[in-house]
Amino acid sequence: MLQHPYFTVLLELAAMEFGHNQKGVLRIPCDVKCFHTIYQLIRSSTRRKKVTISCLLPRMI
């Protein structure tokens, strides 16, 4: 799961927002509903489909 492209985006956003020197818990810069949506997309193997994850768009701009 950690190597999935959707999760990679979350990790990159976390690095941009919180840096690489976090200690302890990994903080993901999205709300629970957004994370749950991404998790379900990963589990359902929609990798081949183009999906816009609108909850991440404001952070990526």
Taking residue 3's Cβ as centre, other Cβ atoms within 10 Å add up to 7
Q: Which domain holds residue 36?
A: 5-60
Q: Which residues contact 47 (CB under 8 A, 6 or more apart)?
A: 4, 5
Three-class secondary structure of residue 51 per DSSP: coil
Indicate the number of domains in the chain: 1
Each residue of 35-51: pLDDT tens digit?
888 888 888 865 555 56
Each residue of 18-38: pLDDT tens digit?
888 878 888 888 888 888 888
pTM across the whole model: 0.66
Confidence bin at 56 (pLDDT 50/70/90): low
